[in-house]
Structure 1
Amino acid sequence: MAFSALPLPLSTPSPSTQTSIANPPEHLSSSALPLPKLKTPTIRSRLSKLCQEGQPLLARQLFDTLPRPTTVLWNTIIIGFICNNMPNEALLFYAQMKASSPHIKSDSYTYSSTLKACADTRNFKMGKALHCHVLRCLPNPSRIVCNSLLNMYSACYTDFDYSGYDLVRRVFDTMRKRNVVAWNTLVSWYVKTERYAEAVKQFTMMMRMRITPSAVSFVNVFPALSAMGDYKNANVLYGMLLRLGDEYVKDLFAVSSATFMYGELGCLDYARKIFDHCLERNTEIWNTMIGAYVQNNLPIEAISLFFQAVKSEQAILDEVTFLSALTACSQLQQLELAGQLHAFIIKHLRVMPVILQNATIVMYSRCNSVEMSFKIFHKMPERDVVSWNTMVSAFVQNGLDDEALMLVSEMQKQQFMIDSVTVTALLSASSNLRNLDIGKQTHAYLIRHGIQFEGMESYLIDMYAKSGSVRIAERIFKTEYTHDRDQATWNSMIAGYTQNGLTEEAFVVFRQMLEQNLIPNAVTLASILPACNPVGNIDMGKQLHAFSIRQYLDQNVFVGTALIDVYSKCGAITNAENVFTGTHEKNSVTYTTMILGYGQHGMGESSLFVSLNAEIWHCT
């Protein structure tokens, strides 16, 4: 924060005052005069200047030479420490003030500044103590003190349970007069605690109270609208910002926040229009727009904008810029581009931070170059737990499950703690290897260390089912309350039954899922369709096919492949052929399934034709 952002208790001395001290009348001899006693404004301005020059400790030394410093001078040093990012020193200095000078009375500037230090250090205990001081010493605290209390509680209170007694709201309600700063803090507080509807409600209430919002008001409320997916009110509030004039429209924080909001809402055209109309873009605005493209799976647009940023004289590329570019390249899965981007980042940064090296490992892994991923991992001078997890996951995703298990063993030898990400990779590797022993050991580790993560049950069910222990998978599935099961858990159990030939049980779970008003997705259909094969249930296959068409899932490559397999094995090769022809996106499994279907029905020429097509399209 700039030094001028905090209120100073006194203005700087006038030039006439300085002249009278520095230049005594000529008729008086300098030797006859005693050294002039410095007045408080002069001392304060000297202390302020030292703090502004980044020398608060030197200012403190000068302060310590003063016999009886006033409240104004104590405040000056406290503010100086805060503005030089030394909030702990500010709190210690305030404590010294109360201990060594009990006759000195704290004023509004003392409390507001010290509360700012509490907010910066997240010192909730000290902040509450200061609040008590304020209540005892200031019967009618000024607006600046109340705003500082709001800021302190909103900064510190998120780590505590606010559901029963919201101190931020309590302080706000006791304020007699609230300005836009107080309303902004309240809205920001509700956004920070993920009470988005309440944040929008308070912003609306502020408008009804005829308080003109500042640019910060919009910066605070836009994330609430994006989190709620409230496209309509997003347009209304952004339109309001436009009507308030250039000061708001050109505010870089407002531009960045609006771009982020529309990006989160999936309105990339609006986000890009705001970006294009901003002539003076800072790094954050470039990063927000590139990140919006990445988040919405538009890697080509993200990379294109990244190269525009590289050529722009305004843009200063930072770690976030490169992280978005690496993620976009991972989505594109183009090895040549990955190599070029990697080389550019090395040239630009010389030393890559760990977070970018981790992202580079992911990028090469997604580009099917796990060797390059491991090369980067092996050469890393420092690795964090994310580095290890990233490399383990890269091995699993590329079918190198044994290597993943060995790397986890090495990870433990290096004293890195196994977390939920490691466990996820271990369970996937165990499933792929059908290794029940490793799976059970991992499950036991989860229980011993109390590790819980989203989707844990589905990973365990999948591992046990693929390892042939479908009844253990069944017990895990049934221990969960029905309403607590997510779609991934239902899908894993259906797939587990199908893979183990328990088709009736698979259909029972599928019907239970429908009874819970859960709409099957592509994974559900790809899991249940193979259950039609052993019993030759072509009618059920047709019903599922019709459902996939209604839900626009028939073009999914996994659903299409499963439908081809069902129709082929149930004797309806013409239906299989129609599905194959109508599926726009095909992979090697799709072609193989169709070729096998033709072979099973003695249609060798058709099988050969499809095989040749597969070679032409590089799908074999």
Structure 2
Amino acid sequence: MSTSTLPLPTPPSPPHNRQPSSHLSLSGPPPNTLDEPPMALQTPSIRSRLSRLCQDGHLHVARQVFDTLPRPSTVLWNTIMIGFICNSLPCEALWFYSRMRSATFIKCDSYTYSSVLKACADTQLLRIGKAVHCHVIRSNINASRIVYNSLLNMYSTCLASTVVSQFSDVDLVRRVFDTMKKRDVVSWNTIISWFVKTERIAEAVVHFRLMLRMGIKPTAVSFVNVLPAVSGICDYELGNVLYGMLIKFGGGYVDDLFAISSAIVMYSEMGYVDLARKIFDGCLDRNVEVWNSMIGGYMQNNCFMEALNLFIDALTSEHMMLDDVSYISALNTVSQLQQFCMGKQLHAHVLKNPKALSVTVLNAVIVMYSRCNCIRDSFKVFDGMIEKDVVSWNTMITALVQNGLDEEGLMLVYEMQKQGFKIDAVTVTALLSSAANIRSVAIGKQTHAYVVRHGIEFQGMDSYLIDMYAKSGLIKKSQILFGEGNDLTRDQATWNAMISGNVQNGLIEEAFVVLRQMLESNMFPNAVTIASILPACSQKGSMGLGKQLHCFAIRHSLGCNVFVGSALVDMYSKLGAIASAEKVFSAAGTESGVTYTNMILGYGQHGMGTKALSLFSEMQRAGLRPDAITFIAILSACSYVGLVDEGLRIFHSMEEKYGIKPSIEHYACVIDMLGRDCCLEEAVEMAEKLGDEGCAIQAWGSILTACRTHRRHELAKIVAKKLLHMESRQSKNGYRVLLSHIYADEGNWETADKVRKDMRERGQRKEVGHSWIEVSGHISYFVSKDLKHQQVEDIYGMLETLVADREYVDDSPLLTDG
């Protein structure tokens, strides 16, 4: 926090032999004494009149009075200019300065330049600010500290959004500060605040120490500026020293609520939330800033219930008017806890309190309902908003995309543009995520082109583009985008996106190459990196690599991360090590529904349906709300082991109990479950309701497989005809081999050969299944009739020996005498 005060000029002190009168007496002047001359009434000066008019907000009257003056002085020009600024009209102040510059009979002084620089800061017009700086230099006036402080404030305000790396060559704020011959506490406060804004935390602390060595006593603002720097370098001892200094300075410091608020934030960000609470409890006269800081401190330390309870205390506190930040913090807390009922109560309170019914608060309500899996309620709030800003549109679009309603999100982007709102960086991230989710190359490319045409740049943009192209099947395009960067431009998200993209496209070796390059570039892997590379181990069939990554995660305190734990459970399950998956799940705790979902899926894949159902019940008892993916996992588990009744009960509970509308994927799981249990008529009836879109083809494929299993050949032919029609419409193949097997099973070899011949003419080939084994860290892959393996002769020799031994064992009697 920096200050750049612009005091309104006050009239000069009256002569010593006169006293200004603030009122006129109706009885006339007091009687004169013999020794005193008669006193004349003091009339207000033109400057004091203009100042009063400006202070009262009557700028138009002040302008009219000013325009009647033949040759107004510099002081009068300054008075009007400062009046514009104090009434939040900085653009008019700049215009007035331009008019003053064009007047030949007037000269600017320090107050003039200080005022106009403040106007430049308010409008963030850096170019005009630089021009005024040139005017100061050319004017040959002896610039006072107020001008230099105004220059510091102007540059720090206008350059606040500049990328930090751009200050390595030229730092205009630092240059102005270094040229100052005399600096006061305002100058030091501004430079310290500037270093904190530009994330040069260590320099902020160094300059605070220099200020003390120069004998300049810090103000409360000094502590407000430097305490965030201490939390940035996480120096607990220094924080204690500064807080002790704040207390030692006494009344004007320890009673400053903004300084107290900064101390609460400092300790909270360093993880000492108990100390922050002690400071909060010791503050008797709390303002809304202090309450918000403590609530935010609890949220930063994942103490969401404590944050919510403190918000309730603030609501019941007398003479406390909460602001938008208070309600947004409470709504974010409810979002993290996914407490839908509490969220509805809080929403009702917001509706009853007109002062809290701002656009920003309603935006937070939209997010709250979205995170509580109540996207319909989110849209009701959005649709009912009388006033919407670009954040409202972006919030709703992002909520739709995050809840799997990608097409609805895209339609809302179109409507957003029709309403005259421009697409910004947040909209672009939602568009790219949506394009990646629905695997739409067209939408992804259009968004990429829009970004390039309009020069939109934001942190992490490359990672979104790489992820979108990778998920859309254009992994080469992702690799080109990744290759265009270098170690300086690639952030952690970009590396992670490239690793994940390679894994998703089956490029396992390339994924590990990128991981190795990442380590060589001194970019340390985080939890997302480990969670992205672990699926490669199960695809590669390498338990050894998976265990190495697991050990790496434990050594670097990443093993307890929710995403890492979920990925480990999934990896061990797919590699057949279900016991290891259970150990990881037990160590991970019960805080994440994702971990539960992966463990349920693992049990299902290993035929442990009873355990899967038990874990599903345990998840609900733990207060975790199952989502759509959890239901796919439990329905798949029921399908694998034939638990039809339990599966149907869970399927019907989705919408009745949890308000989740079943998707085609859920129906496909139920159809597969019915098919496995020979309930083929019910399966066909359900499949016919799905239409021909999306995963419906998988559902019919499950029925065809069940028809072969249960030897329902006539029904299989009807299902096959339906499948072939759907394949031709969606340009997909894959069920002709199964159809040829069905014809072969019933002895119809001629038709089976015809199907195979038709596949060859179409250039279709069955994907060859393979198996693998890992020996001493080396993985060997095998396919049927494989002749390419390096040890093929030894393998077939051993196979012949095993077959001969098996024949001997089969011919031996099971029981022998003696």
Structure 2 gaps of 5+ residues are 33-38, 621-625, 627-633, 635-818
- Contact 1:493 1:506 (8 Å CA) reproduced: yes
Q: Which residue of 1 aligns with 2:322?
A: 317
Residue type at the aligned position of 1:250: D
Q: Which residue of 1 aligns with 2:422?
A: 417
Structure 1 residues 333, 100: CA separation in 2 closer, same or farther (over 3 Å shift)? same
Alignment of 1:283-298 (within 5 A): 283-298=288-303
Q: Which residue of 2 aligns with 1:608?
A: 610
Structure 1 residues 10, 175: CA separation in 2 closer, same or farther (over 3 Å shift)? farther
Q: Which residue of 1 aligns with 2:599?
A: 591
Other structure's SS at 1:554 match: coil
214-223 or 494-503, larger mean C-alpha shift: 494-503
Question: Paired residue for 2:541, among 528, 536, 543?
Answer: 536
Alignment of 1:36-51 (within 5 A): 44-51=47-54
Q: Which residue of 1 aligns with 2:357?
A: 352
Larger Rg: 2
1:268-303 CA deviation, whole Å, 9 max, x = no partner?
A: 223322222221122222222223333443322222
1:244-272 CA deviation, whole Å, 9 max, x = no partner?
A: 11221111221222223333333322332
Structure 1 residues 87, 13: CA separation in 2 closer, same or farther (over 3 Å shift)? farther
Q: Which residue of 2 aligns with 1:276?
A: 281
Q: Which residue of 2 aligns with 1:334?
A: 339
Is 1:492 paired with 2:511? no
Structure 1 residues 38, 187: CA separation in 2 closer, same or farther (over 3 Å shift)? farther
Other structure's SS at 2:376 match: helix
Q: Which residue of 2 aligns with 1:545?
A: 550
CA–CA distance in 2 between the matches of 1:432 and 1:471? 18
CA–CA distance in 1 between the matches of 2:395 and 2:70? 61
Question: Paired residue for 2:183, among 161, 178, 183?
Answer: 178
Structure 1 residues 107, 615: CA separation in 2 closer, same or farther (over 3 Å shift)? closer
- Contact 1:461 1:476 (8 Å CA) reproduced: yes
Residue type at the aligned position of 2:393: W
Residue type at the aligned position of 2:12: L
- Contact 1:12 1:41 (8 Å CA) reproduced: no
Residue type at the aligned position of 2:613: S
Instruction: Answer 1 or 2: which has greater helix percent.
Output: 1
436-445 or 539-548, larger mean C-alpha shift: 436-445
TM-superposed CA distance for 1:372, in Å, is 0.4
CA–CA distance in 1 between the matches of 2:95 and 2:450? 45
- Contact 1:252 1:282 (8 Å CA) reproduced: yes
Q: Which residue of 2 aligns with 1:11?
A: 13
TM-superposed CA distance for 1:326, in Å, is 1.6
Other structure's SS at 2:228 match: helix
- Contact 1:127 1:152 (8 Å CA) reproduced: yes
CA–CA distance in 2 between the matches of 1:333 and 1:308? 21
- Contact 1:286 1:315 (8 Å CA) reproduced: no
65-74 or 256-265, larger mean C-alpha shift: 65-74
Q: Which residue of 2 aligns with 1:461?
A: 466
Residue type at the aligned position of 1:355: T
Q: Which residue of 2 aligns with 1:257?
A: 262
- Contact 1:10 1:72 (8 Å CA) reproduced: no
550-559 or 67-76, larger mean C-alpha shift: 67-76
Residue type at the aligned position of 1:427: L
- Contact 1:457 1:476 (8 Å CA) reproduced: yes
TM-superposed CA distance for 1:8, in Å, is 2.8
Is 1:401 paired with 2:406? yes
Structure 1 residues 398, 95: CA separation in 2 closer, same or farther (over 3 Å shift)? closer
CA–CA distance in 1 between the matches of 2:475 and 2:556? 30
Structure 1 residues 298, 424: CA separation in 2 closer, same or farther (over 3 Å shift)? same
Residue type at the aligned position of 2:326: T
Structure 1 residues 10, 435: CA separation in 2 closer, same or farther (over 3 Å shift)? same
CA–CA distance in 2 between the matches of 1:132 and 1:486? 39
- Contact 1:9 1:72 (8 Å CA) reproduced: no
Is 1:220 paired with 2:233? no
Other structure's SS at 1:8 match: coil
Structure 1 gaps of 5+ residues are 28-35
Is 1:526 paired with 2:531? yes
- Contact 2:47 2:75 (8 Å CA) reproduced: yes
Is 1:343 paired with 2:348? yes
CA–CA distance in 2 between the matches of 1:319 and 1:99? 45
Structure 1 residues 72, 486: CA separation in 2 closer, same or farther (over 3 Å shift)? closer
Structure 1 residues 10, 230: CA separation in 2 closer, same or farther (over 3 Å shift)? farther
CA–CA distance in 2 between the matches of 1:257 and 1:388? 33
Structure 1 residues 560, 180: CA separation in 2 closer, same or farther (over 3 Å shift)? closer
607-616 or 279-288, larger mean C-alpha shift: 607-616
382-391 or 165-174, larger mean C-alpha shift: 165-174
1:20-58 CA deviation, whole Å, 9 max, x = no partner?
A: 99856879xxxxxxxx99767655555554444444544
Residue type at the aligned position of 2:407: D
TM-superposed CA distance for 1:209, in Å, is 1.1
Residue type at the aligned position of 2:494: T
- Contact 1:326 1:359 (8 Å CA) reproduced: yes
Is 1:374 paired with 2:374? no
CA–CA distance in 2 between the matches of 1:468 and 1:425? 19
CA–CA distance in 2 between the matches of 1:181 and 1:451? 36
1:101-126 CA deviation, whole Å, 9 max, x = no partner?
A: 82x66665555555545554556666
Structure 1 residues 11, 197: CA separation in 2 closer, same or farther (over 3 Å shift)? farther
Structure 1 residues 170, 484: CA separation in 2 closer, same or farther (over 3 Å shift)? closer
CA–CA distance in 1 between the matches of 2:474 and 2:172? 52
Q: Which residue of 1 aligns with 2:649?
A: none
Structure 1 residues 596, 515: CA separation in 2 closer, same or farther (over 3 Å shift)? farther
Other structure's SS at 1:481 match: coil
- Contact 2:264 2:294 (8 Å CA) reproduced: yes
Percentage of matched positions with identical amino acids: 58
Q: Which residue of 1 aligns with 2:392?
A: 387
CA–CA distance in 2 between the matches of 1:158 and 1:522? 31
- Contact 2:363 2:395 (8 Å CA) reproduced: yes
Structure 1 residues 532, 314: CA separation in 2 closer, same or farther (over 3 Å shift)? same
Higher relative CO (CA 8 A, sep ≥ 6), structure 1 or 2? 1
CA–CA distance in 1 between the matches of 2:108 and 2:455? 49
CA–CA distance in 2 between the matches of 1:395 and 1:341? 22
Q: Which residue of 1 aligns with 2:507?
A: 502
Residue type at the aligned position of 1:8: T
Other structure's SS at 1:480 match: coil
Alignment of 1:218-257 (within 5 A): 218-257=223-262
Other structure's SS at 2:182 match: coil
Structure 1 residues 51, 327: CA separation in 2 closer, same or farther (over 3 Å shift)? same
Q: Which residue of 1 aligns with 2:447?
A: 442
- Contact 1:439 1:463 (8 Å CA) reproduced: yes
TM-score (norm 2): 0.65
TM-superposed CA distance for 1:341, in Å, is 0.7
CA–CA distance in 2 between the matches of 1:497 and 1:96? 63
- Contact 2:328 2:364 (8 Å CA) reproduced: yes
